[in-house]
């Protein structure tokens, strides 16, 4: 997705990973279904993003031709600012339902996210976490959101806040539920 755009999905619409897609398992943008990298002022409303976790295998044993990995995220937000996810679902990923992290530019400068909001979202049956927050400055708001049934790679939590290089500040988690996840 690009700067200054809004994506609206019709009721019950599903954007789903194609069979045979995401064969590689490296931590890079093209390994995720939806990528917001170095963008600003982007909103996504009423969309369901579904991957194919059973194809990627479980507990580090993928089905051929897939390689093992935990980075096939449903939604990857890196180095971006002013992003709103409203009534969005990210499920059955081979990584996180929602990954919020840094973008690293050509001279290896880390660029954290700023002002990221997830409201009334659901992240279900993902491999690593429902949501991971690694790098977000300014407000990071997760509100009225359900993170459920995470199983696969540790920590297998509903939400995992794992600051890298002091890149995480001002996180608010309000009226959320973490249900049926394998990890704490």
Binning pLDDT at 50, 70 and 90, where does residue 46 land? very high
Decide if pLDDT at 61 tops 80.
no
Decide if pLDDT at 176 tops 90.
yes
Decide if pLDDT at 23 tops 90.
no
Name the more confident of 23 and 83: 83
Start-to-end CA distance of the chain, whole Å, equals 33
Decide if pLDDT at 62 tops 80.
no
| Model pLDDT, residue 74 | 97
Encode pLDDT of 27-37 as tens digits.
788 889 999 99
| Model pLDDT, residue 87 | 98
| Model pLDDT, residue 123 | 98
What CA–CA distances, in Å, run from 36 to 3, 27, 61, 130, 133?
A: 9, 14, 29, 17, 14
> Measured between alpha carbons, how far is 184 from 178 in angstroms, rounded to an integer?
9
Encode pLDDT of 105-149 as tens digits.
778 888 999 999 999 999 999 999 999 999 998 899 999 999 999
DSSP assignment of 63-76, as one string?
PTTPPP-S-B-SEE
Do residues 30 and 72 touch, judged by C-beta distance below 8 A?
no
Place of tokens 């990890």: 183
Name the more confident of 173 and 165: 173
Question: In what side-by-side order are the strands of the sheet with 113-119?
Answer: 5-8, 40-45, 81-86, 113-119, 136-143, 171-174
Decide if pLDDT at 161 tops 80.
yes
Do residues 89 and 44 touch, judged by C-beta distance below 8 A?
no
| Model pLDDT, residue 8 | 97
Decide if pLDDT at 59 tops 80.
no
Decide if pLDDT at 26 tops 80.
no
Cβ neighbour number for residue 73 with a 10 Å cutoff: 33
> Measured between alpha carbons, how far is 153 from 167 in angstroms, rounded to an integer?
23
Closest by CA to 131, choosing from 119, 139, 140, 123, is 123
> Measured between alpha carbons, how far is 144 from 121 in angstroms, rounded to an integer?
7
Closest by CA to 97, choosing from 115, 105, 85, is 85
């Amino acid at each position: 997705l690009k700067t200054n755009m809004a994506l609206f999905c019709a009721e019950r619409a599903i954007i789903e990973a194609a069979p045979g897609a995401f064969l590689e398992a490296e931590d890079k943008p093209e390994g995720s279904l939806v990528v917001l990298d170095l963008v600003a002022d982007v909103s996504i409303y009423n969309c369901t993003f579904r991957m194919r976790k059973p194809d990627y295998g479980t507990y580090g044993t993928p089905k051929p031709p897939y390689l093992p990995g935990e980075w096939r995220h449903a939604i990857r937000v890196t180095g971006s600012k002013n992003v709103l996810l409203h009534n969005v679902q990210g499920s059955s990923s081979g990584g996180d339902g929602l990954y919020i992290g840094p973008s690293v530019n050509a001279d290896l400068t880390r660029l954290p996210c700023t002002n990221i909001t997830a409201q009334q979202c659901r992240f279900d049956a993902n491999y690593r976490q429902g949501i991971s927050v690694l790098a977000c400055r300014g407000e990071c708001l997760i509100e009225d959101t359900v993170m459920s049934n995470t199983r696969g790679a540790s920590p297998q939590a509903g939400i995992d806040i794992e600051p890298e290089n002091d890149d995480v500040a001002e996180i608010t988690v309000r009226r959320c539920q973490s249900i049926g996840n394998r990890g704490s």
